[in-house]
Chains A and B, each alone.
Chain A
Amino acid sequence: MPVVTFRVPAHATSDVIDAITELGLAFGPRRNVTTTLVDTFDGRLHGAGLRLELRRSELIELVLSGENVVPAHLTVDVVPRVLADLPSGPFRSRLAALVDVRALLPQLRIRMGRSTGVWRDRTGKVVAIAELHEDVHLLDGPVIDRFTMIEVHEVPGYAKRSDRVVAVLQDVGLEACGSDTLSQCAEAAGIDLAGFTSSATVPLAPGMASLEGFRAVLANLAVSIAANWQGTIDQIDPKFLHDLRIAVRRTRTVLGASKSVLPAAILDPAREEFAWLAGATGAARDLDVYLLEWERYTDPLGVEAAAALAPVRDVLARHRAEAHFELAGVLRSERAAELMAEWRYWLAEPLGDDTLPRRADQPLGRTVAKRIARAHKTLIDGGRLIGPDTPAEDVHSLRKDAKKLRYLIECFGSLLPDKPRRQYVKRLKALQENLGEHQDAEVHITLLRSLAAELDATGAAARTMVAIGQLTERLDQTRVSARAEFAGRFADYDSPATKHSLDALLRAIDT
């Protein structure tokens, strides 16, 4: 609901209170409250125009609000870390649509003395509210000058009353400021409430030197890797590993396209080390996906079979914990620290006097066009060799080729004209979905078979083994149907229309 805010000079607080008390507002006692602004690492609530506040006084209260949004309040027993910590109901459902698997993290924690002034009409109905926030300061983060704010909240249907409060405050010399108490604190502390979003895209120009463009893309990816590093170690939520893994894969794809652009002395060790890092993330991510998709896999089998599979889920959870422990060890290792330190140093520092490869100075647009055209050709050539009896590894290899192509388009996306890029990516995505479905089923069947052997050796119940059989069969059906669908999907991609949209895309940058 509309709020007008004013910064109150320390010496003027009592005059301000007197002025609006005279109007009819009655202030309650001052209570010291701690307010924490909560959001996901990538600021999903902020992006949706919402604000989730956690207010602690005698109770823990969550307030979900926003501009022109009816505020929702919920009292909770524990501070929620993930959505499952909240009771089911509309409050959780609204958040779930935005937050998904992400953890709810404190962005900003402030302490203040809060007193609420209420204006009631003759019947006792509240018609305007003013909140005085005194002695506002940050509890974590940098020290800021303590300040006092007054927020005038419009009560829907009674706008004239809050307008009068605002007018009185202006009469005593206050000027409305554009942001509320929390936003002012965030600004003073230098906290960007938009959070961190792992985007592959950086500003590029077709005419810039290829080396410069590739370095800009790789530097942006290095920022994503670094941003998601600690969250992956701490297992804050599965998206950290997802984003880290994607940033590493994109880095590998760009490095794979960097021959004759980056100096070999830099490129060769980087390719080797990022391959090692990518390999270390695979098991943990596969198990994350398996557990995140668990209900989707098992629910269709029915309640009894899903219950019988509980021991499988337990083993998966144990393997996942082990895989994450191992991954955390890798990310904490000297080798990993050295890789990232050297890599970021090279990306940040001016180039030395080394002789540059032949394409380093060539226009970025031309280099990228050639790389994308080559990646497309690899995909087409590989896809045309896939038949009904082609081994699964070859299909998986084709999936990787498709991903590489997609990553190139995403990483160099700012070079490419928007409309043909979207048209082309739509075609590629349709093929990728089919390949992804096939590969996920393949990986999960293999994993399930190894778990079945493990459980069988420990004397698992017969009903569990039967349910594993059912689940394997179901996954196999998915795999078979994805495989059967492949020919049609690939034919759609391997078409004159795709070629036409790709040509339009590349012509625009190959100058």
Chain B
Amino acid sequence: MKVLATYSIKGGVGKTTTAINLAHQAAVDGSRVLLWDLDPQGAATFFVRVKPFVKGGAQRLVKKSGSLAANIRATDDPAVHIVPADFSLRHLDLALDHTKRPTRRLAALLEPIADRYDVALLDCPPGITLTSESVFGAADALIVPTIPTTLSERTLDQLTDFLAQHPPAPLVLPFASMLDRRKRLQRDIVAHLMADITGFLPTAIPNASVIEQMGIQRSPIAVFAPNSPAASAYRHLWGDISARVWA
């Protein structure tokens, strides 16, 4: 099982929509996918229409071996399951801090179910916290949505610097998110990021109204708008990621 995480220090950059759409693409490509919603806002949980509920809350989730399996719910895609989030995950850092090896704890929780899935996709809350460090300890790759602003490169640098100081680091796969192609500055920034940052993926996800509709449709874009440019972009993005992760 490969463990991927949609992660960014910044919030509101498209982590959850990326997680939902990549989970769908991975399933279309023949993978069995476990989506793990680690964000107390529970947006990924909402998108797949699952009740936001963690049995025993964050503390029991991280403390008890085998608790992950007990929280798994099916989504409407038979090959995609989810570990839902609820508001108790706001205490996840605290709960992790009470475990023996907090930065390895998420990896340890995933280990018993590694044979059941081909891909675990962790949808992370923003920031660099103890939860993030535990994600870094579990993930084979971080998928980092990067919005085309002048500060983006700096944010990516902060992440790579942090990872360099805390080895072993997962593969970092940034990509351009929420790109408005009508704006020249954004196009230029993305071109610059793709040219200058090692590993920056060649597919950019557009800033499209169809992505906003996910909140109403509560489905991956490829389900309700399969021919849209955004659906096509996520297909290509998954191709970029799988080529790097399974190389």
Show the binding face of A for B, using Cβ within 8 Å: 1, 62, 64, 69-75, 87-92, 94, 121, 123-126, 155-158
**B79 x A73 contact (CB < 8 A):** yes
Asked if residues B29 and A87 are in contact (CB atoms below 8 Å), the reply is yes
Whether the pair B49, A72 counts as a contact (CB closer than 8 A) is no
Once the chains bind, are B30 and A156 in contact (CB under 8 Å)?
A: no
- Of the listed stretches B57-65, B112-120, B164-172, B200-208, chain A binds B112-120
Instruction: Give chain A residues whose Cβ lies under 8 Å from the Cβ of B218.
Output: 123-124
For A71, what are the chain B residues with a Cβ–Cβ distance below 8 Å?
32, 78-79
Binary flags per residue of B149-180, CB closer than 8 Å to A gives 1, else 0: 00000000000000000000000000000000
| Contact present for A70 and B30 (CB under 8 Å) | no
Q: Which residue of A lies closest to B31 (CB)?
A: A90
User: In the assembled complex, which residues on chain A have CB atoms less than 8 Å from the CB atom of B233?
Assistant: none
Residue in contact with B30 in the complex, picked from A1, A89, A121, A155, CB distance below 8 Å = A89
Set of chain A residues within 8 Å of B76, measured between Cβ atoms: 125-126
Q: Which residues on the B side are within 8 Å of A156 (C-beta)?
A: 72-74, 81
A7 to chain B, nearest CB (A): 24
Sorted nearest first, the 9 A-B pairs with minimum C-beta distance are A91-B30, A157-B73, A74-B30, A90-B118, A125-B49, A70-B32, A156-B74, A155-B74, A123-B49
Distance of B17 from chain A, by nearest CB (Å): 19
C-alpha spacing A125/B32, complex, angstroms? 19
Q: Which residue of B lies closest to A129 (CB)?
A: B78
Range, interface on chain B: 20 to 34
B197: interface (CB < 8 Å): no
Chain A CB within 10 Å, residue with most, of B76, B119, B242: B76
Q: Do B119 and A90 touch (CB < 8 A)?
A: yes
> Shortest distance in angstroms between A60's beta carbon and chain B's nearest beta carbon?
13
| 7 A–B pairs (Cβ distance < 8 Å), ordered by A | A64-B30, A69-B116, A70-B117, A87-B29, A125-B50, A157-B50, A158-B74
Residues of A within 8 A of B72 (CB): 156-157
Q: How far is the CB of A153 from chain B (nearest CB, A)?
A: 8
| Separation of A73 and B242 alpha carbons in the complex (Å) | 17
For B48, the chain A residues whose CB sits under 8 A away are 125
Instruction: Tell me the bound Cα distance from A94 to B118 in angstroms.
Output: 9
Q: Is B185 an interface residue (CB 8 A)?
A: no
Does chain A have a CB within 8 A of B225?
no
Q: Is the pair B81, A72 in contact by a Cβ cutoff of 8 Å?
A: no
Chain A minimum-CB-distance residue to B53: A157
8 A Cβ contacts from B82-134 to A: 116-119
Asked if residues A70 and B79 are in contact (CB atoms below 8 Å), the reply is yes
Q: In the bound complex, do residue A88 and residue B81 qualify as a contact, i.e. CB atoms below 8 Å apart?
A: no
User: C-beta contact mask, B23-53 vs A, less than 8 Å → 1, else 0?
Assistant: 0000111111000000000000000111000
Partner of A74, one of B29, B78, B242: B29
Question: Which of chain B's residues have a CB closer than 8 A to the CB of A94?
Answer: 118
Complex alpha-carbon distance, A473 and B176, angstroms: 50
Known contacts A123-B49, A125-B49; A89 and B31 CB within 8 A of each other: yes
A146 vs B22: C-alpha distance in the bound complex, in angstroms?
A: 42
Residue of B32, B72, B81 most packed against chain A (CB within 10 A): B32
Complexed CA–CA distance, A156 and B32 (Å): 14
Determine if A88 and B30 form an interchain contact, defined as CB atoms under 8 angstroms apart. no
- Shortest CB distance B51–A (Å): 8
Contact call A73/B27, Cβ cutoff below 8 A: yes
- Which residues of chain A have C-beta atoms less than 8 A from B73's C-beta? 156-158
The CA-CA distance from A1 to B80 in the complex, in Å, is 13
Question: What is the CA–CA distance of A437 and B222 in the complex, to the nearest angstrom?
Answer: 52
Q: How far apart are the CA atoms of A157 and B71 in the complex, in Å? A: 8
Of the candidates B74, B79, B246, the one whose C-beta lies within 8 Å of that of A89 is: B246
